[in-house]
A and B are shown apart, each in its own frame.
Chain A
């Protein structure tokens, strides 16, 4: 059985939503916080509901709906999301009121919408979809866990047309806390030069990216999602990558393009530098976090990117670090890690 990406929709700090251009008109940022570009939600969500919805819910629901539209599928066979932080805006609103109002006269809406499964639930509610509905909340592999669930559901023949998404919202509080924790650069510069700064820290981001997965072949499929693997605290990541490739009967040179999770932080990027001069010394290389920022489910942006690279047969200049021998890559590997602990590998192939 094969898993195909039937369609994808991406809301990000770049003009990736409702736009056929593929990263030709890049948005430049100079701060350490990249905000997602909000579409006109009225096309996707009842205006009465838009007002009540937080940023992450709106982004998630709109990307999910757009993804279904692109595949011309009305009802998905399952809805699965990944988010590390969940609905932060509502969580912080409710927490703030608890403190400021000393636990008295609190309105319930923020609490109701603060649960981590709210995005998946709102999609189900909007579609009246009674099927399997799950939400993974495991730090840097939240999205990959959701993907694995979807791949297993397809294998088990429990469902088809599975909607899988990675969502994350950055709010003022989380940005401040993560800045205090030392995640971001102290001296912001252009995101377009992020990867050559050779200093500590990165830039924060957010977004919502959805995919429709199927085991049915179609010339409209974007790409095959050949294999995924996550590794926790690896002792020898090169070894793990090699084992992963061998498991797919591939050698490093068979990969036309490696998309890495470089984020401009010298500690974070060391491993990518290492493999680019060892395991993947002869491969095309690309990066993406200067476009969407760093966040726990940013690998969903990378998957959107890889699927489109394969489908369109184009490697946008803005992502390219080292040219691929193939102008239209057939095999793309995404290698990302989040804060050195959670490493993930996603292999895509042309259909």
Chain B
């Protein structure tokens, strides 16, 4: 029950790379993934920047050996999950109790949008194959079937904290001895639905986003997928290489303030960070790097910053928002940023917060702006907050 859960493998795809190695290069070269919309058929083309994965659906289908008409959400998921499993290289993988715990926010919406145009004109029209897998759970199922995972699969959807919740739910399944191995994280593809949704809320920056900057004007949407392979203590001992680190702390708290806005004092974020620290038995001063939620919206960064201040003042660890590279990948962000957190420990690196210029007036700290190498990083906190007040913090620790 109290055994540790180890990270044995990682996989990621986003606008800055199609695998872990490409991500590390992009970080070091400070190369962000935002640009003009090229794939979505939307009136916002040329007006709103997004962070697209640079492979189209045909490329992704080839990469994952899937039919090209598969939902992009599932293609991204499979690409990252494949990398994570190959990276872990778990001996006797097929014989273990394995789960796939994935997250996303809008399921097969990329296909449903096409269906809906024809359906609205005539309710007997619209290709059913474009709507058949609309559900969030279908994305998980399609990928699990490709991965050959049958012991346990489920899907979590708590908006932008979805995949952070998937990761720690997976860890608990292992701790409760229901699974030996779990691939956990999340995926989301860019859709007109989410692009227009966030646009109606007037929180999309027309320029590249500037998280934690006094003059930040909103977020850029991104897409991608990120997964961790979590294993029990027993399986960790059988690995051919050292696990990356362990998941030492986690907490899910609710802001209970507003359906979309964060409370001014960041109650939910504060409780999540505080709870994760308590779970890990660590003090704030033990944290060597915070991967912030840092969307770049005035509201999030102010609430999150206030909560960080309440916990860490006066000694602040280096922190940054990698959304300045990947954009906000919604249901995938917790998984993608968990991968970055794990890599931070493994490689002793801290990611810069791109385009930061001016410290926020209400905060006594500012994010890291340089790519730092050769750091001794033992504990990393990763924040993921979402609509519905859903706030989750994870802590990864060196073994």
Contacts and interface: CB of A to CB of B under 8 A. Distances in A.
Interface of A: 79, 84-86, 91, 94-96, 98-100, 102-104, 106-108, 111-118, 120-122, 124-125, 127-139, 141-142, 145, 149, 152, 155-156, 173, 176-177, 180-181, 230, 232-233, 341
Given A117-B386, A118-B388, A130 B256 contact: yes
Contacts of A232: 144, 150-153
B113 interface: yes
Given A125-B256, A130-B255, A139-B138, 6 more contacts: A95-B193, A111-B193, A117-B157, A128-B256, A136-B154, A232-B153
B372 interface: no
Contacts of A133: 158, 252-254, 388-390
Contacts of A130: 253-256, 267-268, 271
Given A117-B158, A181-B128, A125 B116 contact: no
Nearest to A129: B256
Contacts of B173: 152
Contacts of B271: 130
B264 to A, nearest CB: 15
Contacts of A107: 200
A294 B187 CA distance: 29
B180 interface: no
B137 A125 contact: no
Nearest to A101: B196
B135 interface: yes
Nearest to B43: A103
B48 to A, nearest CB: 11
A111 B199 CA distance: 10
Contacts of B156: 134-137
B197 A108 contact: yes
Interface in B41-82: 42-44
B387 A112 contact: yes
29 contacts: A96-B120, A103-B42, A103-B196, A108-B200, A108-B201, A111-B197, A115-B157, A115-B386, A117-B157, A117-B158, A122-B259, A125-B258, A125-B389, A130-B253, A130-B254, A130-B256, A130-B268, A131-B253, A132-B253, A135-B156, A136-B155, A137-B155, A138-B136, A138-B155, A139-B137, A149-B169, A152-B172, A180-B124, A233-B150
Given A121-B259, A124-B389, A116 B43 contact: no
B2 to A, nearest CB: 10
Contacts of B147: none
B217 interface: no
Contacts of A125: 256-259, 389
Contacts of A102: 43
Contacts of B176: 152, 155-156
A47 to B, nearest CB: 18
B390 A99 contact: no
B105 A116 contact: yes
B165 interface: yes
Contacts, number: 172
B200 A115 contact: no
B192 A115 contact: no
Pairs of residues from A and B, 6 with the lowest C-beta to C-beta distance, nearest first? A121-B388, A111-B197, A108-B200, A116-B157, A139-B137, A138-B137
A115 B161 CA distance: 12
A118 B390 CA distance: 10
B112 interface: yes
Nearest to B120: A99
Contacts of B258: 125
Contact of A129 (B200, B254, B259): B254
B229 interface: no
Given A99-B117, A111-B200, A138 B153 contact: yes
A121 B205 CA distance: 26
Contact of B116 (A99, A132, A136, A149): A99
Contact of B256 (A100, A118, A124): A124
B315 to A, nearest CB: 26
A132 B252 contact: yes
Given A94-B197, A137-B137, A117 B124 contact: no
A118 B259 contact: yes
Nearest to A106: B200
A260 B281 CA distance: 46
Interface string B108-125: 000011001101100110
A124 B128 contact: no
B209 interface: no
A341 B117 CA distance: 30
A111 B201 contact: yes
Contacts of B131: 177
B358 interface: no
B306 to A, nearest CB: 16
B43 A137 contact: no
A136 B258 CA distance: 21
Contacts of B107: 137
Contacts of B113: 95, 98
A134 B169 contact: yes
Which of B120, B128, B154, B175 neighbours the largest number of chain A CB atoms within 10 Å of its CB?
B154
Nearest to B150: A232
A86 B158 contact: no
B260 interface: yes
A86 B157 contact: yes
A124 B157 contact: no
B85 interface: no
Contacts of A106: 196, 199-200
Contact of A145 (B154, B192, B252, B387): B154
Contacts of A177: 119, 128, 131
